[in-house]
Structure 1
C-alpha cells in the first residue's frame, strides 16, 4: 500500500524532465534522448514532429523546375543529393515527395505534371541509395498551392517538396519504441561538412550543423 502511494511521486521528476523535448540544450548528450523517450511514451511529445523539424532544419527540402518540365537540372540534383545523405541516416522514416506547378495551363495537365516532377525526384533519390520503400510520389498538388500568387510563369511555384510523413512500420527501432535513438542520431560527418544550397537563388550558405 505504501509503495502504491509513493509511485506518483517517483514519476514526477520524469515528467519534469520531459518538458522542452525536441529542443535539447547545446551539448546535450543521450540524456536528452532518454527524456525524449519519456515524453513520447507519456504523450507529451511527438517523435514524428520532432524528426520533421530536424529534417527541415538540416536539409534543403525543395527543388524547382524549368517551365513545363520535369527534368532535374544540376542545382536540383545537388539538393536531392543532400536530401539523400540525410535520409540514408534515418531508415526508420518514410518520406513523400509532393509535386507542384505554377498557374499556367489547365488543372488536369498541371496535376499530371506535378506528379511527374515528384516521380523524377523520387527516382533520383533512389539512385542516390535511398531505399525504395522509404519514398512515395503519389501526392501532387498541381497548381493548387502556389508560393507566389500569379498567373504568370513562376519558377518558385514549379517545385517539389520532400517531407517526412511517418515511420516505417516494420523497422526494429520503431517496433521497440526507440524513437529517441532515432531523433537524436547524429548524421554523417560528410553531410555535416556539405554546404546548403539556396534552392531558388543558388546562394550557398554554411551548413547548420557543426563538425565535431
Structure 2
C-alpha cells in the first residue's frame, strides 16, 4: 500500500507540474503582467471626485449611460411611430434606467428640415412623447422623466435641408438626480455597491 501511495503522489505531482508548464496556463504568469484597460480604481476615483465637488454624479452616470446603451432612436419620414429597432433600443434604455432610480431624464425630439419649422416642432414633440410612453410601458416610472422637449429641426446631426434620416430622431439624456447632491454623501459608492451585490445574486429560474 505504501508503494502504491508513493506512485499516486508522484503521479499527482507530475500532473501539477504539467499544468504549470503549459505556457497558456493562467497561473504560469508573473503577477501584474496583464495590462489594465483603464477601469481599475474608477469607482474609488469617481467617488473621491464626487465628494470633493470636482464632478457631479449626473456627469459620471451620463458617461456610463452613453457607453452602455444607445441613447438615440430614429424614425421614418414624417412619422412618430416606433419601429422594431426603436423598441429594441428603448427596452435597453428602460432596463438601464430601472437600475438607477436616483436619476432623472429628459427626452429630446428632433426632425429633418423638410416642412415648416412650426410643423417640425410638433413632430419632434410627438416623437419624444412616443418614446416616453414606451419607456413607461417598460416600467420606467413616469416621475423619472422630468421633461419631454422638441428641438424640431434646429439641432441636426447632419447639416441638410432635405430628407436626412439621421436627423429624424429622439435622444434620451440624464438631467440630474432626485435631490441635490451634498458633499461627502457617497452616492456613487452606493450605486457601485448596489450593482456589486446584484451581480453576485444567484438567479433562480422555475423548473
TM-score in same-fold range (> 0.5): yes
Match of 1:113 in 2: 123
The Cα shift of 1:174 comes to: 7.8
- The number of aligned residues is 161
CA–CA distance in structure 2, aligned partners of residues 174 and 161 of structure 1: 28
The match for 1:44 among 40, 54, 67 is 54
1:168 shift after superposition? 1.1
Going from structure 1 to structure 2, the CA distance change for 1:174 and 1:155 (only over 3 Å counts) comes to farther
Q: Is the 8 A contact 1:63 1:159 kept in 2?
A: yes
Change (3 A) 1:96 1:110: same
TM-score (normalised: structure 2): 0.70
- Paired with 1:139 and 1:131, the residues of 2 have a C-alpha distance of 18
- Equivalent residues of 1:90, 1:182 under 8 A apart: no
Q: CA RMSD in A?
A: 2.5
Residue number in structure 1 paired with 2:133: 123
Deviation at 1:106, TM superposition (A): 0.6
Q: Distance in 1 between matches of 2:190 and 2:67?
A: 16
Residues 115-194 of structure 1 correspond to what in structure 2 (within 5 A)? 115-169=125-179, 177-181=185-189, 184=192, 186=195
Q: CA deviation at 1:27?
A: 4.7
Stretches of structure 1 that go unaligned for 5 or more consecutive residues are: 1-23, 190-212
What does the per-residue CA deviation read over 1:147-193, in whole Å, with 9 as the maximum and x for residues that have no partner? 111111111100000000100129xx98993322355353877xxxx
Aligned to 2:107: 97
Deviations 1:189-212 (A, max 9, x none): 7xxxxxxxxxxxxxxxxxxxxxxx
Conserved? CA contact 2:113–2:161, under 8 Å: yes
Query: CA 1:25–1:148 in structure 2 vs 1: closer, same or farther (change >3 Å)?
Result: closer
- Gaps of at least 5 residues in structure 2 are 1-36, 200-207
Distance 2:49 2:147 in 1: 32
In the alignment, which of 2, 23, 26 is matched to residue 39 of structure 2?
26
Structure of higher CA gyration radius = 2
How far does the alpha carbon of each residue in 1:104-128 deviate from its partner, in whole angstroms, 9 at most, with x for none? 0111110011011001001000100
How far does residue 43 in structure 1 lie from its aligned partner after superposition? 1.6
